[in-house]
Structure 1
Amino acid sequence: MLVSWIRTLGAWLLLASVAHAQFQFFENMFGAGGGGHQEYRQKSAQNVPSDSSRYQSNWEAARCDKYLCPGTLACVHFPHHCPCPHPDVEEKVELGEGSAVCVSRGGYQEGEAARKIELARKGLL
């Protein structure tokens, strides 16, 4: 009788551990368990375009006695000295009169974006 009871208890424990392992697998797979859930929350919070509170808090915390660039929060002497936010894929083109824009790189040659902007200003592009 005792052996039968131990076997039944062992079977239940085995079944419970298998079920627990299965649910852990699915929780981790779908990001609902532990750190995965927190990571999912962080990723989804980054995709909220209408929430500017993080940018506002960084803007307010920035200390600059000159000009604070709105795109990069860099502190520079003049607005046209602001760096591009993505220098690996953007090229800064100065338009004259203290203004500059950041545009996507135009190709493989250095300065190609500036040449295209100049052609567009002349109405040739």
Structure 2
Amino acid sequence: MQLFGLVLALVGFLSATTANAQFGFFDQMFGNQQQQQQQHHQQQNVRSDSSWYQAQYEGAHCSNYLCPGTLSCVSFPHHCPCAWETVEDKAELGDGIAVCASKGGYNVGETARKIELARKGLL
């Protein structure tokens, strides 16, 4: 009878340990996942002030003109590339001034055409 009680106590202990290990595993797994998501979310956030950008600008080395929007080093300000060339077109307005604007449609040069119409007051 003592052997039966000992076996029963051992089975109970092993069951409790196994259950704790299982739930501990899930807690650790899901807890870790939540912690990783929080860390990932924290890594994506950037400061809301301009000090980070200013530090990048001041730390950039350029012997000619440093484009403020892309931090590209070019010979002249109107040579600055657009920051998002896949969705923006650059249009030169004259006197060394260039602007980047959202692409105007499916036709090549449509952005420049619309900017020119706007300059003439026709758009």
**TM-score under structure 1 normalisation?**
0.84
Tell me the distance in 1 between the aligned counterparts of 2:6 and 2:41. 48
Match status 1:10 vs 2:14: yes
**TM-score under structure 2 normalisation?**
0.86
For structure 1, which runs of at least 5 residues remain unmatched after alignment?
A: none
Q: For 2:61, which of 60, 63, 69 is the aligned residue?
A: 63
- The 3 A distance-change label for structure 1 pair 85 and 17 is same
Aligned partner of 1:80 in structure 2 is 78
Tell me the distance in 2 between the aligned counterparts of 1:65 and 1:52. 24
Tell me the distance in 1 between the aligned counterparts of 2:28 and 2:117. 60
Cα RMSD between the aligned structures?
1.7
Q: For 1:97, which of 87, 90, 95 is the aligned residue?
A: 95
How many residue pairs get matched? 119
Query: Which amino acid in 2 is paired with 1:13?
Result: T
For structure 2, which runs of at least 5 residues remain unmatched after alignment?
A: none
1:18 deviates by 2.1
SS at match of 1:19: helix
**Alignment of structure 1 residues 38-49 onto 2, 5 Å:** 38-43=39-44, 45-46=45-46, 48=47
Q: Which runs of 4+ in 1 moved over 6 A?
A: none
Tell me the distance in 1 between the aligned counterparts of 2:55 and 2:109. 36
- The 3 A distance-change label for structure 1 pair 51 and 7 is farther
Tell me the distance in 2 between the aligned counterparts of 1:39 and 1:120. 44
CA shift digits 1:6-37 (9 cap, x unpaired): 112111112112211332343255x32xx433
